[in-house]
């Protein structure tokens, strides 16, 4: 791959020609000059086989306890799907979120049309954004605490992104400046509040809401 150049000639090192490529898969994660959104989408395509394996596991172990199924969903499937998510410095994760929600509903055994908020509350599993956000924030905090961080290329890249307020820089600012946004506990609390709000609206619409008590005269 090349950055800021159109030179695609092979690079020869010790009589070994390194050919130009538009993308490269490293440890299961595609790397390219494409946008993060596109790279994440490509990674999800590569992980479809893991989804099929998980669904096959559910069919073969239909009577297994929920805790066992959840352990497989967490440690096997999500570990693969979310591999390297610490570097996805974007909140545009629709391809991942769709896979996350669908496999979570496979785990619970409900239709995909079931509102995801209900599943989050029922299982205590946080939305993807909070889960990934927590992992990314922990990664950034550990990175900054490293003795090799100061003056490193990574530190300079992050600083430039934040100074120029590019999309990645804005996302990093949000992660580090608003810890509650990457908190699974806070995310679940917001989901519960959202469900309560919807329930109140539905009750008012159907006339099932309890009338307000009359004031004493």
The structure tokens listed for 20 are 């130009």
d(CA 185, CA 130): 9
Domain ranges of the chain: 11-206
Query: Is there a contact between 132 and 93 (Cβ–Cβ < 8 Å)?
Result: yes
Cα-Cα-Cα-Cα dihedral of 140, 145, 147, 153, to 10°? 30
In whole numbers, what is the pLDDT of the chain averaged over residues? 84
Number of Cβ within 10 Å of residue 64's Cβ equals 13
pLDDT in tens, 142-182: 999 999 999 998 899 889 989 998 888 999 998 888 887 77
pLDDT in tens, 66-112: 999 999 999 989 999 998 898 888 888 898 999 999 999 999 999 99
d(CA 200, CA 208): 9
Q: SS3 letters for the chain?
A: CCCCCCCCCCEEECCEEECCCCEEEECCEEEECCCHHHHHHHHHHHCHHHHHHHHHHHHHCCCCCHHHHHHHHHHHHHHHHCCCHHHCCCCCCHHHHHHHHHHHHHHHCCCCCCCHHHHHHHHCCCCHHHHHHHHHHHHHHHHHHCCCCCCCHHHHHHHHHHHCCCHHHHHHHHHHHCHHHHCHHHHHHHHHHHHHHHHHHHHHHHCCCCCCCCCCC
pLDDT at 102: 96
Burial of 86 (0-12, 13-18, 19+ CB in 10 A): middle
Apex 30 CA angle, 152 and 58, nearest 5: 120
Count of positions (residues) in the chain: 217
Name the pTM for this structure: 0.78
Residue with tokens 């469900």: 195
pLDDT in tens, 17-68: 777 677 767 666 767 777 778 888 888 998 999 999 999 999 999 999 999 9
């Amino acid at each position: 791959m090349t950055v800021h150049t159109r030179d695609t000639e092979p690079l020869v090192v010790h009589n070994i020609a390194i050919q130009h490529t538009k993308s490269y898969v490293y440890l299961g994660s595609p790397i390219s000059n494409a946008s993060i959104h596109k790279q994440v989408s490509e990674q999800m395509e590569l992980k479809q086989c893991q989804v099929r394996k998980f669904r096959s596991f559910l069919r073969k172990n239909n009577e297994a306890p929920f805790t066992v199924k959840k352990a497989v969903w967490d440690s096997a499937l999500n570990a693969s799907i979310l591999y390297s998510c610490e570097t996805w410095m974007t909140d545009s994760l629709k391809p991942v979120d769709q896979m996350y929600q669908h496999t979570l509903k496979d785990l619970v055994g409900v239709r995909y049309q079931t509102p995801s908020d209900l599943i989050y509350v029922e299982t205590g599993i946080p939305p993807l954004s909070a889960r990934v956000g927590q992992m990314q924030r922990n990664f950034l905090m550990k990175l900054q605490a490293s003795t090799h961080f100061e003056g490193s290329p990574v530190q300079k890249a992050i600083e430039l992104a934040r100074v120029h307020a590019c999309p990645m820089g804005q996302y990093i600012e949000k992660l580090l400046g608003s810890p509650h946004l990457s908190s699974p506990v806070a995310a679940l609390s917001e989901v519960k509040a959202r469900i309560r709000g919807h329930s109140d609206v539905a009750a008012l619409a159907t006339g099932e809401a309890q009338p307000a008590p009359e004031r004493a005269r």
